[in-house]
Structure 1
């Protein structure tokens, strides 16, 4: 999702060894061994929502087999860059919108390895304001199903036992942390050992404290008229550290993985965790009988001042050098059908770009989307992938006591200038 201001989560043989992981093979053929069979390969970071639609595609194109390879997100970017460079990339692959990491549209499209989707029915339907995040030079090179949100996923049973209601303001959040800690549970499980997770609490704080204060912040940063150090990012990092000092996080956030943080919430060891909406699926897998919800992270002192992070979701790019390019493009057209996009979003815990449909789990965010009280994930509009990497390191260093807020903001400014 984009905010009204634009109208508009990272190479070595050791890393390659972690590539996984999970193969979802649809059909009996492992290649084009059956006469007339075409096998499309798809590289992703999660496959649940895609696998169902890939199976459904067999009814549309019985001669096509789709093989999905799932790689953990922190290895995916290095692995896939290596495969692209060696000419061994899959026919379709996960790409992120904007410019936040090494597998984002603005980083990959200039390499000439993503097919142009602009003149497809899907490409023509993309709102003009979204196009800059889905490719370069006004061309669409990424299919995205909708938008993703950052919020507080919580264990309803833990909240009930502690007598805590969903907080709507910063003061209520701090009071809830105190009460949850007194009840013997960690208020917020933080999985900073998994690098991409380390950015998320800041991403939940920045919309209210940086972008609501200056709706044109990205433009001002890009023009050199302001810096992270002079912007509301200072308040966002200050509150991130304040949560730590108040005991809102569990012991050793930097030594806790995403999987461990999710398990803490699923098993009732922690009350909540700040993640993207699709993490709901992981919580239910860990505890199918659990009751889980999500709410906008209450970053504001007044509820009416809250802004939320809602960014265009990662999607699929088509390998322009694929020998099966026509079939890959036809599969994207199938995914982009409105009924299939709605099904994908419902299973992937996304919202439609306009908030009109999607996962019922995310209903608390719909009023913010419809009212334009959303801000893209910050890295989607940064000029390079270095800024996101430095921000992640800063977030980890702040909790480890290795960095000050002033020092962290200077590091982010230096990284931003590397464009």
Structure 2
């Protein structure tokens, strides 16, 4: 096993930008790191009883295989240490439907004790100061990389612990298909287009899409943010301050153009409009199509369902216009949060302490192939880490990786996936989609009360 030391480079691009944006105008950083003791807390979990008597925690997670397996691994390992604790896992859909369930349950006071949800911009829409327990003063906070803390903070409060790994956002590809057609990993969009011409000529759909799960439609836009930041380093700050728009920023609008191009040139496989994403993963593993814009968390599902084919899957960052600036967009892990309505606060905090420990990481590694680097101090990845994860690490080690926009700005419109489906299905052109998304984010920014909106 080896320690991944490059994780802090992921968010070297001004993590303070998100802190300032999410603090209601305050320029002070999150209080958690500064309030922490000078020496890191132990990363070993407590072996003391989690409570004086039997206690049951309910845990709401999304229904992706990776999330379910990770949550189950954590629950099993923790309850083995604490036999008086039972953790009941409940699942919800991903995407907009899942977001609505989380928001509704928090608003009505019907949320589980703990729940799994995004870090970054989507958290801000939950009004966390009103609905989620502040854990900034807990002794396990120093175990967590400070770059992650900024993504689960608002003002001086901290709300969640990382649950899983950081992720690469880009393109998964089938290495055997690439070898068969005689193509290599593209570093520019022009090379990507040329590869796709060769794939089509060979009778292989160049790009897979799974619009039956609408959230999967967004990656051409979201995973392109590394290229946006290279072209316009101030975009995130200007976007947050309502000084920059997708429709009027060519680098930002490019992702919508990629969706339209994929449709217009017939890059997608047949039936993509209704295909579910796990079906798409199977088709990628089987070489039914060559490339799949996606987040790397899906790799563990491929590894579970096709252990003999996971070595065939590689990763590359979304190609841009300049090969010398080629890189990858990185997502911070999702987090586990405690609802303010929980009646098992002490037990919930002790479970979060376990998640934020190296023992928690070991529990995940024992059951779920990691899909990226961890953000727990001292965490290790197995030596047999998947090749695609090593591809992601290579971008990070080379200093050619940067955070997705949602970790630099609290502004993200709720309708992006529906807009992307419309463009990728030929129902809307890219320029109108960019303008529609600008309108979508305006509503969200005003709800958050951001200056300048």
With the length of structure 1 as denominator, give the TM-score of the two structures.
Answer: 0.83
User: Partner of 1:50: helix, strand, or coil?
Assistant: helix
1:350 matched to 2:400? The reply is: no
Q: Structure 1 residues 7 and 249, CA, compared in 2 at 3 Å: closer, same or farther? A: farther
1:107-131 CA-to-partner distances (Å, cap 9, x unmatched) read 2244622111111133234455543
Q: What SS does the aligned partner of 2:154 have?
A: coil
1:374 alignment counterpart: 401
Whether the aligned pair in 2 keeps the contact of 1:354 and 1:369 (CA below 8 Å) is no
Q: Which residue is equivalent to 1:397?
A: 422
Where structure 1 has 5 or more consecutive residues not aligned to the other structure, the ranges are: 9-34
Counterpart for residue 160 of structure 1: 179
Residue 176 in structure 1 maps to residue 195 in structure 2: yes
In structure 2, the residue matched to 1:11 is none
2:213 to 194, 209, 215: 194
How much has 1:160 moved relative to structure 2? 3.0
Q: Match for residue 355 of structure 2?
A: 335
Name the TM-score, length of structure 2 as normaliser. Answer: 0.77
User: Structure 1 stretch 231-240 or stretch 86-95: which is displaced more?
Assistant: 231-240
Residue 248 (structure 2) aligns with: 230
Q: 1:39 aligns with which of 56, 64, 67?
A: 56
Q: Encode CA deviations 1:192-246: one digit per residue, 9 max, x unaligned.
A: 23121111121222321x2111122111122232221222212332233233333
Partner of 1:274: 293
Which residue does the alignment assign to 1:415? Answer: 440
Select between 123-132 and 164-173 the one with higher mean Cα deviation. Answer: 123-132
Query: Structure 1 residue runs of 4+, over 6 Å off?
Result: none
Equivalent position to 2:345, from 314, 317, 325:
325
Greater length-normalized contact order (CA 8 Å, ≥ 6 residues apart) = 2
Out of 317, 327, 330, the residue aligned to residue 307 of structure 1 is: 327
Contact 1:151 1:294 survives alignment (8 Å): no
- Say which of 267, 283, 299 aligns to 1:264: 283
Aligned CA distance change for structure 1 residues 120 and 78 (closer, same or farther; 3 Å): same
- Find the aligned partners of 2:338 and 2:391 in 1 and give their Cα distance: 33
Following the alignment from structure 2 to structure 1, what is the Cα–Cα distance between the partners of residues 191 and 131? 49
Gaps of 5+ in 2: 1-9, 18-51, 446-453
Q: Is residue 66 from structure 1 mapped to residue 87 from structure 2 by the alignment?
A: yes
Deviates more, 1:142-151 or 1:237-246: 237-246
Mapped contact 1:170–1:301 kept (Cα < 8 A): yes
Match of 2:234 among 207, 216, 220: 216
Deviation at 1:294, TM superposition (A): 2.6
Structure 1 pair 225–86 and aligned structure 2 pair: CA distance change class (3 A) = closer
Secondary structure of 1:247's aligned partner: coil
- Partners of 2:315 and 2:428 lie apart in 1 by 30
Alignment of 1:99-110 (within 5 A): 99-100=121-122, 104=123, 106-110=124-128
3-state DSSP of counterpart to 1:274: strand
Q: Which of 115, 129, 139 in structure 2 is aligned with 1:121?
A: 139
CA drift at 1:152: 1.9
RMSD: 2.6
Q: Is the 8 A contact 1:354 1:370 kept in 2?
A: no
- Deviation per CA, 1:78-137: give whole Å up to 9, x if none: 22333323333211101211223xxx2x12244622111111133234455543420311
Identify if the C-alpha distance between structure 1 residues 408 and 90 changes in structure 2 by more than 3 Å, giving closer, same or farther: same
Q: What is the SS of the residue equivalent to 1:90?
A: coil
